Amino acid sequence: MTPLVVAVVGPTATGKSDLALALAEHLGGEVVNADALQLYRGMDVGTAKLTLAERRGIPHHLLDVLDPHEEASVAEYQAQARAALTDIADLGHRAVAVGGSGLYVRALLDHLEFPGTDATVRAELEARVEAEGARALHAELERLDPTAAANIGPRNARRTVRALEVIRLTGRPYSASLPQHVYEVPAIQLGLDCDRAVLDARIESRVARMWDRGLVEEVRTLLDAGLGRTASRAVGYAEVVAMLRGELDEAGARAAIAAGTRRLARKQMGWFGRDPRVHWLDAQDPDLVERALALVAAADSGTLGTATDDPAPRRSLGS
């Protein structure tokens, strides 16, 4: 029987990569990346990507598979990442997925459909946004799919257009294609939580470390090669781009990166905190690896209770 995939999830800067690496070492595993930005070649310092030396010989999959000018596709990621899971299982190894990109984790593990697109329909809806305003289309979405509308802000024109496009193309509610908390790939999810003040301090240290390791030089090189929309808007990269354009000074760029990373961490905690299947662990626990391994062993033996049976996690970042 194929062993459960172990997924290490949670906010940025909580130590997910280190825990995943330790688990892979103990379990005879290989790591599968579930961080959207670590898919990109050359985006190393700003994404805190482990170096080859730091990976300690553990195979890593879905790192450095896109050029920075390309746009990441969740559907393509799902296909490639699940193929990697098959390859790992065929070798008799354990897959350890790690990342803070919630949609990518869900695409890897859960039933998640990707309805097609239609350039003509999309253009028509975007033209209506310009003519009628985003709120008018959101009101239409409320009539057609109240569940989707409740989860999409009335000013979010891009997501509103996508929802209406899917409804037009499939004849079904957009919400029907959204991810549900239902595993398609059997797994155990381990979430790392961290006291808010401690995490904020970790984020400040991470920004300083990235600066020392050459973040500015990395961004300058990427700009020369060409940055796509996704890469250029990423936290850490967008702020350095602004600095290089003279829109921010160094102190302002560093402060903006730290603030953006804190916002990202809150958003990630909100996403993963809503998943009742995540078993939460304290990122500062000196016995973190042992506790994580015990949860994996219990899941493997079928004796692990539901995540809601765990002692109440702090979930200190809120949502």
- Please indicate if the annotation marks 147 as binding a ligand: no
DSSP, residue by residue, 165-216: HHHHHHSS-GGGGS--S-BSS-EEEEEEE--HHHHHHHHHHHHHHHHHTTHH
12 is in an annotated binding site: yes
179 annotated among ligand-binding-site residues: no
Report whether 16 belongs to an annotated binding site: yes
Any idea which residue has 């016995």 for tokens?
287
Sign of CA dihedral 152, 162, 268, 248: negative
Residue-wise DSSP of 62-125:
SSS-B-TTSPP-HHHHHHHHHHHHHHHHHTTPEEEEE-S-HHHHHHHHB--------HHHHHHH
Full DSSP string of 131-176: HH-HHHHHHHHHHH-HHHHHHS-TT-HHHHHHHHHHHHHHSS-GGG
User: Would you say 246 is a known binding-site residue?
Assistant: no
Point out the annotated binding site for ATP: 10-17
Point out the annotated binding site: 10-17
Point out the annotated binding site for substrate: 12-17
